[in-house]
Amino acid sequence: MACLPAETTFATAVAAAEAARQAAYGAALATLNGGYTAAALVTYKNAIGAADVAYFTAVNTARNTANAAGAGLKTMGDIAPAVLGTAAAIWSNI
On the question of pLDDT at 1 being above 50, the answer is no
Classify residue 70 by its DSSP letter: T
- What is the number of structural domains in the chain? 1
On the question of pLDDT at 69 being above 60, the answer is yes
How far apart, in whole angstroms, are the C-alpha atoms of residue 30 and residue 42?
14
Note down the domain range covering 48.
Answer: 5-92
Mean of pLDDT values over 40-53? 93
- The pTM for the full model equals 0.70
CB crowding 44-61: b at 16 or more within 10 Å, else e = beebbeebeeebeebbee
Helices (H), the chain: 5-34, 38-68, 76-79, 84-92
Mean of pLDDT values over 66-87? 65
How far apart, in whole angstroms, are the C-alpha atoms of residue 35 and residue 82?
41
